[in-house]
Amino acid sequence: MSKNFIIKNATRDDIPTIFSFIKELAQYEKLEHEVVATPELLQETLFGDKAYAEVVIGYLDNSPVSFALYFHNYSTFLGRPGIYLEDLFVRPEFRGKGIGRRMLSYLGHLAKSRNCGRLEWWVLNWNKSAIDFYKTMGAKPMDEWTVFRVTEQSLDHLALTFEKDSL
């Protein structure tokens, strides 16, 4: 790893860079059609009165080459917080240089310094290179779990059901 690589906490001034990384990640994952985030939403949700997540940016020779967006979750079984890594992205031309390893180890260090019991994330099943990389870092797939998600109309319906039941 180059000594010219540093990781910095993102600030409001980094919103254009963060947004660019999000679009690049979506393109890599073939999910561009799902990006509805805007710089304005990032301003509000990452740096507004209530920040919901944190971002670090990796710089090589003062140029942004990677980012990680994460937030705290909580394990009732451990009785401790954890860090959930929503996104880790290294620009393709900088892969294989130890940047992803450095970013992930930074998050591990951060988790330990915050007394977290775990660091976890999801990876798309087709992303074999990422899966192989994560395994070299000691990560273990949680194959016995199935992810469930409620969005859009289903989320609206779920919320309305609560409201109706509360009357």
Residue 88 φ/ψ, nearest 5 degrees: -130, 125
In the chain, the number of structural domains is 1
In 24-97, at which residue ranges do the beta strands (DSSP E only) sit?
A: 54-60, 63-75, 80-90
Asked whether residue 107 carries a pLDDT value surpassing 70, the answer given is: yes
**Which residue among 28, 59, 84, 134 is the active-site one?**
134
Domain housing 55: 5-165
**Residue 60, helix vs strand vs coil:** strand
Instruction: Give the burial class of 141: count Cβ atoms within 10 A of its Cβ; 0-12 exposed, 13-18 middle, 19 or more buried.
Output: exposed
Look over the chain and give the mean of its residue pLDDT values, rounded to a whole number: 95
Tokens 């990677």 map to which residue? 66
| CATH number of the domain where residue 154 is located | 3.40.630.30
pTM over 0.75: yes
Residue 165, pLDDT score: 80
Is 134 a known active-site residue?
Answer: yes
> CB under 8 Å to 119, separation ≥6 — which residues?
82, 83, 85, 107, 108, 111
Mean pLDDT to the nearest integer, 143-150: 91
Asked whether residue 163 carries a pLDDT value surpassing 60, the answer given is: yes
